[in-house]
Amino acid sequence: MKEYPTLVLYLETVRSRDRLKEKPHLLGMTSLELEELAELLGEPKFRGRQIAKWLYKHNATSLDEMTDLPLSLRERLKEATVLYRARIVNRSVSRDETTKLLLELEDGQTIESVLIPYEDRVSVCVSTQVGCVVRCIFCATGISGFARNLTAGEIVDEVLTCQKETARRVSHVVYMGMGEPLLNYENVLKSIQILNKEVGISMRHITISTIGITPQIRRLAEEKLQLTLAVSLHAPDDMLRRQIIPFAARYPLQDLIEACKEYAETTGRRITFEYLLIRNINDSISHARKLANLLKGMLCNVNLIPYNAVEGLELDRPSQARVRAFRSVLEESGITVTQRVERGHAISAACGQLRRRSQLPN
């Protein structure tokens, strides 16, 4: 995988004194970059690897914890760099132990991360942007508008902060929180690189969910990563899809499906299509038939997600019978269907909802 530079930033910082305010962040640097940083500070390379180990393996939150670094180096690092860790400003724990954190970033913006313990694994759902430009009609994140991209370090911080919430090891990461990962491509890819190589999360245990940014799917295919790609379809034809995802007008369905087929061929990985079911909008038998037709012969499976109520939105979730009927049509066409196991229902686990609640007047 390509290395994405942070060090360039550091070099610019040391070169120009008046830019010293923009100190480089340690979190978000790879071992290689930390080695270079150590050398720039006149230290042997291995100091960089030590720092990486403290950050990513020991989950250190301050330089003072890095006790095997000489005190003088720690002091210099404090002066020249930043080690910011997100602050937990709200924590909701549901009966099934799903824990949703509202995290405050350095600039005061807030994002959500969710820790989901299963019997056989522990998963973390991360945000990739503060808000989202796509503005799907069902999504609390979209309604709140868009503020900025998260840095690679901020995304990795979400996983590390969730790791502190549990005694078990976080084994899976899903990019399904606030924001559209493929509209923050470089930072998302760099965070994956760090989670995989430094934190030790297997590539096969990482899932990116995208609303379907066709050119970026083609770009991602070329990286040939063994991660799982999940594409949010939510409608079987362009007209309906544009009503649910106005932004989708830029990416016609046929071309998107074509890119998904290419992705599956290039990477050898099965694609997951996500389909959010909204009552009387996209949940009829004829929608299911159209969807089955669209996906005929593809290496894929479909994940059905019944709509979860968002305050202020006049949409409904379909009845269970309706979901079952929709599912049967797909299965009869030979498509593998999974239904999202709903976790943390009582704590509004669909991402963006906790943050939105914190922004609404009580």
CB 15 within 8 A of CB 26: no
What distance in Å separates the CA atoms of residue 279 and residue 319, rounded to the nearest whole number? 8
The tokens describing 1, both together, are 């995988």
CB of 248 to ligand SAH, least distance (A): 11
The residue to which tokens 């790791």 are assigned: 163
Give least dist CB 257 to ligand SAH, A: 16
351 labelled catalytic: yes
Cβ-proximal residue to ligand SAH, closest one? 308
Tell me how far CA of residue 122 lies from CA of 111, 171, 228, 231, 338, in angstroms: 20, 5, 17, 22, 19
Is 112 tagged catalytic? yes
- Closest to ligand SF4 by CB, 48 vs 212, is 212
Restricting to residues 286-345, name those near ligand SAH by CB under 6 A.
305, 307-308, 310
CB 354 to ligand SAH: min, Å: 12
Q: String of b and e for 94-109 (b: at least 16 CB within 10 Å)?
A: bebebbbbbbebeeee
Q: Integer distance in angstroms from the first to the last C-alpha of the chain?
A: 46
| Residue 98's binding partner out of ligand SF4, ligand SAH, none, with CB under 5 to 8 Å set by partner kind | none
Selection from ligand SF4, ligand SAH, none that 307 binds (CB < 5 to 8 A by kind) is ligand SAH
Decide if residue 209 touches ligand SAH (CB under 6 A). yes
Q: Which does 308 bind (CB under 5 to 8 A by kind): ligand SAH, ligand SF4, none?
A: ligand SAH
Beta-strand pair 336-339/172-175:
unpaired
Q: Which of 112, 165, 180, 274 binds ligand SF4 (CB under 6 A)?
A: 180
How many C-beta atoms surround the C-beta of residue 352 within 10 A? 23
Q: Are 163 and 126 within 8 A, CB to CB?
A: no
The single residue of 112, 154, 158, 165 carrying the catalytic annotation is: 112
Binding mask 225-264 for ligand SF4 (x = CB under 6 A): ----------------------------------------
Q: How far apart are CA 292 and CA 125, in angstroms?
A: 28
Nearest to 295 by CA among 283, 303, 307, 305: 303
Question: Could you say which residues in the range 122-151 bind ligand SF4, by CB under 6 A?
Answer: 132, 134-136, 139, 141-142
344 lines the binding site for ligand SF4 (CB under 6 A)? no
Asked if 179 interacts with ligand SF4 (CB under 6 A), we say: yes
Q: Which residues bind ligand SAH (CB under 6 A)?
A: 138-139, 176, 180, 209-211, 232, 274, 276, 305, 307-308, 310, 350-351
Catalytic residues: 112, 351
